[in-house]
A and B are shown apart, each in its own frame.
Chain A
Amino acid sequence: MRLKTLIIGGFAALALGGGLAGTATASFADGPATPSASPAPSKSRPPVNAPLPAPSASPRERCPKPRAGKNAPPRNCVSPARPAPALPGHPTYTG
């Protein structure tokens, strides 16, 4: 009975999530409702503008494992982006 409940609940969750995906993505992307207000401070979060820890020397790769039996197109590995070194130069931006 418990297993059956879990299975039914899982399907319901998938269906509900799929239906909301389009709307939910766009809504979150709009950011907080009040643009100039910062989120409420949280005890577990450092204060805004606090120094961040230095990035680790070797970012952890998060490449999906190839799926056996699937004829999926080859995909690039997606790893965390790293700050780039600054190039010396004479900018010509609009200032």
Chain B
Amino acid sequence: MPSTRARAAVPWLGCALLATAACGTSGGGTPHRAAAADRPTAAPAGAEIATVRGTSVVIRREPGGATWRTLSSPNDYGAPRVLLVDADRGDWLKVYLPLRPNGSTGWVRASDVTLTRTTRRVEIDPRAFRFTVYDGDRVLRTGKVATGTGGTPTPAGRFFFTELVRPADPRGAYGAYAFGLSGYSPTLSSFGGGPGQIAVHGTNAPGRLGSRASHGCIRVGNPDITWMARNLTLGTPVDVLSS
């Protein structure tokens, strides 16, 4: 059994002993949440974040398999390469990858990375145009977002922060900070000289928060992105619900 799942089971043990009905479950959730339903590392124990030790890391399709991809560290923005851990099998870790197609996973040697843990995660609800930052099950912060338009939608799924960039012009379209995400636009293969990568970033048009206004990125208010920059780490899980 992966260790993350083993740790996740502990609170439920007490739950079952006390009163199963009182602890309850979500009843399977709604279809709206189905895209991010399988979240083995989003349990109260938190998510594990793998930071590459050397200048690159080999990705394999299965533990012990042939080299599939190699990711450099630091990444193209100069940030240390981090990967969100999906499953832990001792010597091998299954990780989410910042590659197309969105949701790609692969395996890395545990000895090639250092592990840290966060109990915080971000949830984006495109229907409500809101973000919520959780610490375990506790809400730390919530606020308005703008998401992609119909032609350039924000993709749903589980992502993670890959880098934190402070734009040269804090009054520009990206606002005070931009957290790059591990996901990509489903409709744009490139944008502004980049690969169509999406992000959570501030804005110079706060009046458009609460609407579909972006090319796929998730815009938040500058006070909110500043708070995130001070309180969230690279590798933090970001779950974008289905719209």
A residues contacting B by CB (< 8 A) are 13-14, 16-18, 20-33, 35-36, 38-39, 45, 48-49, 52, 62, 72-95
Contact = CB atoms under 8 A, between A and B. Distances in A.
A81 to B, nearest CB: 4
Contacts of A29: 37-40, 42-43
B37 A17 contact: no
16 contacts: A17-B10, A20-B13, A25-B8, A25-B40, A28-B137, A29-B42, A33-B27, A35-B241, A48-B140, A79-B116, A84-B79, A86-B166, A89-B166, A91-B180, A93-B199, A94-B191
Contacts of B188: 94
Chain B contact surface mostly: mixed
Nearest to A90: B168
A26 to B, nearest CB: 7
A93 B194 contact: yes
Chain A contact surface mostly: loop
Give the size category of B's interface with A: 35 or more
Contacts of A84: 79-80, 163-164, 233-234
Contact of A52 (B40, B140, B163): B140
Contacts of B44: 28
Contacts of A25: 5, 8-9, 12, 40, 43
B214 A94 contact: yes
Nearest to A19: B16
B201 A91 contact: yes
A30 B207 CA distance: 31
B70 interface: no
B139 A48 contact: yes
B212 to A, nearest CB: 13
Given A38-B142, A74-B111, A28 B8 contact: yes
